[in-house]
Chain A
């Protein structure tokens, strides 16, 4: 190497050396480590809903809200009671009209179901099954076992810990 480089040579050397400096990389997994600590923006309504839910679900606030709701209902009932009793005749009439209407609809529905059962032969089939004792019992037992089995299966399924719960438990 020539030790007697003049200034312009040294300038050129400095620039050459600087431009040849490599770009250095952080260790593997850098991106994931950063992303684990970055919170991505979420839609505003969702954020508000979640915040409201979290706020309400705190035990003391939930109790306070339930108490306030019950108090409102109670106060409304107490305030409305004298007026309702003063107009008792009107309410009796209105209630009997509503009961009559609803009863009429229920009667019509029951009649429609019954006539469909007779027309379609469902009633005669049921009567035939009921007529043979062992077949009826077999049907009842099968349906009961199937129902109980389904219930137990559902219970086991809901009780089984999820993989995320297991992982959370190990941390």
Chain B
């Protein structure tokens, strides 16, 4: 039975094979390897810690429970990033649909209706979690990334934060290689503009 240290020396493919054979330590090794990259990607996409943690958890549960269906000709990292990215994109789409106005319902006509349908924000002070969030996502570059289109954000994060190849990003996002290169180029241009704006 391989120890945790032995597992660290193995490739993803070998660890997956051990996990398929029912070794719990192999499952934990996959979690150890990918919990930070997956969480970082999702967190920087949805920019909400608790939500990101829930989505990362769902991603791992989905991946680890479907390990028997994993095909070794694909990279494990591509597979897990694809599921994580899809979860984040779905969440962003849902959030767009659920967006509520703090200033009252759009069909409110009178001042009373506006007041009655406006959301009440009871406490504007930051909770410890919110403080942590603003520390983690409050830097200029994090804010600039947050303003990018979701597809650009995924590309730039996978390329420059996770260090993935263009080919792997294309596989993760189901996009042609040329499109990925274009997205990354445009994302960099936009980041440059945002950062220049922040400095002026």
Interface positions of A (Cβ within 8 A of B)? 1, 3, 5, 7, 10-11, 13-15, 17-19, 21, 23-27, 30-31, 33-35, 37-43
- Some 13 contacts from A to B, beta carbons below 8 A apart, are A3-B200, A10-B192, A14-B195, A17-B139, A17-B195, A18-B160, A19-B160, A21-B161, A23-B161, A24-B43, A24-B136, A33-B57, A43-B22
Give per-residue flags for B32-64: 1 if the beta carbon is below 8 A from chain A beta carbons, else 0.
Answer: 100111011001100000001100110011001
- Which residues on the A side are within 8 Å of B139 (C-beta)? 17
User: Known: A10-B195, A18-B161, A24-B43. Contact between A30 and B28, CB under 8 A?
Assistant: no
Give the number of residues in B that approach A within 8 Å (Cβ atoms): 40
Q: Once the chains are docked, how many angstroms separate the CA of A43 from the CA of B64? A: 17
Main secondary structure of the interface of B (DSSP, over half): helix
Instruction: Give 9 A-B pairs besides A18-B191, A23-B40 with Cβ atoms closer than 8 angstroms.
Output: A3-B199, A17-B195, A24-B136, A27-B53, A31-B28, A34-B57, A38-B27, A39-B65, A41-B20
Residue of chain A at shortest CB distance from B41:
A24
User: Known: A5-B196, A21-B142, A24-B40. Contact between A30 and B64, CB under 8 A?
Assistant: no
Residue of chain B at shortest CB distance from A13:
B195
Contacting A at CB under 8 A, from B80-137, are: 136
- Which residues on the A side are within 8 Å of B196 (C-beta)? 5, 10
Q: Once the chains are docked, how many angstroms separate the CA of A26 from the CA of B52? A: 9
Q: Once the chains are docked, how many angstroms separate the CA of A18 from the CA of B44? A: 12
Q: Once the chains are docked, how many angstroms separate the CA of A31 from the CA of B53? A: 11
- Which residues on the B side are within 8 Å of A34 (C-beta)? 31, 57, 60-61, 64
